[in-house]
Structure 1
């Protein structure tokens, strides 16, 4: 990683290598963008209404201008990238992107420090919270309070930045605008206009200082998932690519010790001992999780940070989560998904079952009904590749030709059996922490957490990023009309220069009390709002964790441990419970026994136990399902 940073170049030197697209290349990119936005984009009617934009017309006008240009009179390439990027950004959808070609792809532009915000009462402040290892510009450093950016008051500078980058609600726009001041993935964003910035700040003694710093360009860490191939992980993508790129860049710049070649649950030598108060639990997936026991004024609780859902193996991801949660205090869990841009939708919705006794209903998803989407569904109605089954959507897509329905029927992307395969694993109360950078599969997770009433949601922003969709790349869409046999007249053409595009293809809607409500643009509104403090930024979320601890301390702590024992042919269940008054036992989905829990330790002979493939015990409190445990002997 040190070599990547050592090889970083200044912005002006990097831009000398850009500019290889021909006029024909540009026309192809605009024509393909029109295909995606006009015929695949599920949110087009919503975005036109909510944001008063017309991306289709803007693309047509850009295409018209290109017909009037020649190879010698065409605009500079940076201007073409800026215009096409602006059209995609205009819909305020972090799923729907123009991905710049070489030399921009795989690169990040960064300044060697990170800025975050906190509140003092109602007044917002901006603080330097991290600097790249080895960078020094005394008296500048961690704790410096930023007041101006290029001579602009910092609050206003953030607003100007926010106006340029996609954010589907005010909280999301502000958060993205702040983030983009110091780090930008060039795959998603055109390079900064300025070659350097001038930052005005108050140092540790309150003295006003200025820092002039140049933008640097370097290669980013590669993603774990290839979203362009026909695979379950690619087809079930729910990912804000920008946040994922930035997350990998931040890891490289500020926490290189968390970098691993792969993320797997199969690592020998990990501890099986419960975490001591204040201690961390080592994980085989440091890029995905951080688990620790935190001591608060209200008690000692688990704090489990989930950085991303962008994995190839959702079952292994859930298994590691369960292992970590099992080693943390069982009287309360603070589940923290701030800054999580999403990833594999299966991983996000599989995780919900581990925290609740209730059956999980995955969010249904809908296509917009266009002839092209209908062709794609029909080609994969029978799941010919073994990777993608679009059969459930086909009938409603066909009916739409008669009814004029805008959207197809809604069917879950996540298989319901997988979302309920292992059941509840953590029985203490759980509080979820979100922010405006939670997006896509993380929005789906937060919505499911709230819809299934798992626990309180604490937001450090007014709502989540509001990305309610499944996203497919242009390359994946092209492949879907080529497999298992190429379809005649496919509108998808190869893109030049390793450029690419992504589009929100299926929108997700909520379940239970908010059934049918779209997640896009609305997001998840927290039950409790916490404004980050200076202590949160400089003392590892000190006040935020105290707030979460107070909420958890007021919630019941239940226990339902189930042990299978006895001699062969005479197996029995031993239940160890707390705050439960009845237990029902199911064998392979059929009810076999109910018992009043007259004491906290009870052994029950259960007929047919020896032959059961799945044992499920449900614990009740005053007639309400309150805990469950699933055994797979």
Structure 2
């Protein structure tokens, strides 16, 4: 057992029964509840960017529901107020009605940082067009008769399992049917208690068919323990917090899955020392060691169509987007160059910079980051004006100010659209992988991952292969209540700020800026619409139990039908020469520090050409063409 596994085993040994844990809850006063509802009204009515969209698409009126809840609280007394669990359930349900995983009520102590869990994980697969469910993981040390990975799940508390998932899905937010179903299944056995009210049942009776073919029932109680902490503090004034695009529920569950089922992947920081990592290319079937094991898994996979690279990106929730991209580039450089499977399944997002910086490494085309818009309310305009001239050095909302002021005059619903991600940094290093790329998505891809998938499709980098019919459709930048409060306190406190401290370490998050797609779908919102894949693959039993065997075969067939290009450059500065190694190119254009210096026909795969001034250039960019189309690029720094 590794050191990390031992630490996680000790953590789980301290888990408590759900009913025992709930006896520690219930400390909010009536004034505390009134404060929470009043602050929710501020966020939803004055900050929430998707309010018109949600009212139209889902026929909801959260503002009126909050007003009614506030009215009811105004008529209650401390002696006659509802049980606290009822209050949490109602406020949570109002937020869930928006079907927006960015906009949350975060329960106070003792729920903060806690998860409720069962000692197994359930996933779905398809056979003959019908959906089935199987156990895929169990907590180390847990056992039951003929129970383990591969056990076929039939019932949940006596309810057929497919129906049980559907009922659970209806309780949780999700912008489309695929997203709701996925989250209904995801939260069946793991629930972050800060985001979801505790399970109604104290235990679950699971009906299953075991390895011996016999039908059995397993009764297990919910347990509660501390989850792993996040890498990013979303309440502090930092670039990572201001550029956050994250489904907090998927991020919480992702950390819990590592703790429960993959403890060897747990690290206390987002990176570890990379000095001892290999520089040798991956052997077929082998993993490449990474300095970010909680973020990446990279390996070479052999399929019937060839040997390709497969890199899983678990999260974008990092503090250092440049370091994230550097490690990605290092990993793909050690993988086969004949094709790359870029697997984003279950990635709930994170740092928007990290997601949009990554796009440049896979395409020769310039990256256009997605523009974002505020909803035009007096409070949002005030926040923008307070940070119009970047007084703190960490946030600059000046781009949005003129359109916000104009919109308040003209009645426009939204501000102008400007990107959160700096366009120059989104194109700073250029293409680093020249083989074909297939992107794999599912309905849990959300927020910054939605933004990445949209950019991947909008820039025509390669085909999108979805295991669901849509991504999670989360198209926004999310800020916490604490961050909004802080923005009106800097550089000097605002005396009449509407934001008040939340009691009991409760929290709230809100979609503050909506994202719009670019190029052919320019202006189309990502929220609720998501990214529809170009191809779809239904997960099979072999996928669940044998490391995505059929999914990777499908991705391999797509890669095998795409061209494999190459563009490497070697500079002899003293001689003023450039050696190019190419494949499937017929022309190369060379730019020195942004100025065109040479256009040469490519007549052989290895050729050397003189380029005057190349020895003194700081940035050399080579663009490769085939039949007049830009198909490859390489940036070299002098």
Q: TM-score, normalised by structure 1?
A: 0.99
Contact 2:342–2:437 (CA<8 Å) still a contact in 1? yes
The 5-angstrom pairing of residues 139-150 of structure 1 reads 139-150=146-157
Cα shift at 1:22: 0.4
Contact 2:572–2:615 (CA<8 Å) still a contact in 1? no
Cα shift at 1:266: 5.1
Output the CA distance in 2 between the equivalents of 1:405 and 1:6. 56
Q: Deviations over 1:21-76 (max 9, x none)?
A: 00000000000000000000000000011001110001001101101111111111
Name the counterpart of 2:588: 583
Output the CA distance in 2 between the equivalents of 1:611 and 1:295. 44
Output the CA distance in 2 between the equivalents of 1:424 and 1:228. 34
The 5-angstrom pairing of residues 159-558 of structure 1 reads 159-264=166-271, 267-558=274-565
Q: Are 2:637 and 1:620 aligned? A: no
Output the CA distance in 1 between the equivalents of 2:220 and 2:289. 37
> Helix, strand or coil: the match of 1:455?
coil
Output the CA distance in 2 between the equivalents of 1:267 and 1:408. 43
Q: Deviations over 1:119-150 (max 9, x none)?
A: 00211100000000111112221111111111
Q: Deviations over 1:291-344 (max 9, x none)?
A: 000000000000000000000000000000000000000000000000000000
Contact 1:265–1:316 (CA<8 Å) still a contact in 2? no
Name the counterpart of 2:3: none
Name the counterpart of 1:601: 606
Output the CA distance in 2 between the equivalents of 1:523 and 1:401. 29
Output the CA distance in 1 between the equivalents of 2:45 and 2:394. 26
Deviates more, 1:605-614 or 1:411-420: 605-614
Q: Deviations over 1:412-443 (max 9, x none)?
A: 00000010000000000000000000000000
Contact 1:265–1:319 (CA<8 Å) still a contact in 2? no
Cα shift at 1:205: 2.6
Aligned residues: 631
> Helix, strand or coil: the match of 2:591?
strand
What CA RMSD, in Å, does the superposition of the two structures yield over aligned residues?
0.7
Cα shift at 1:263: 2.2
Name the counterpart of 2:47: 40
> Helix, strand or coil: the match of 2:330?
helix
Q: Are 2:130 and 1:137 aligned? A: no
Output the CA distance in 2 between the equivalents of 1:274 and 1:526. 31
Output the CA distance in 2 between the equivalents of 1:611 and 1:375. 48
Q: Deviations over 1:135-190 (max 9, x none)?
A: 11122211111111111111110110000000110000000001111000011001
Cα shift at 1:265: 7.0
4+ runs of 1 displaced by more than 2 Å? 263-266
Cα shift at 1:202: 0.9
Q: 1:156 aligns with which of 157, 163, 171?
A: 163
Deviates more, 1:552-561 or 1:196-205: 196-205
Q: Structure 2: 5+ residue runs without aligned partners?
A: 1-7
Output the CA distance in 2 between the equivalents of 1:324 and 1:8. 37
Contact 2:573–2:614 (CA<8 Å) still a contact in 1? no
> Helix, strand or coil: the match of 1:218?
strand
Q: Deviations over 1:531-586 (max 9, x none)?
A: 0000000000000000000000000000000011253xx33211000000000000
Cα shift at 1:262: 1.4
Q: Are 2:123 and 1:116 aligned? A: yes
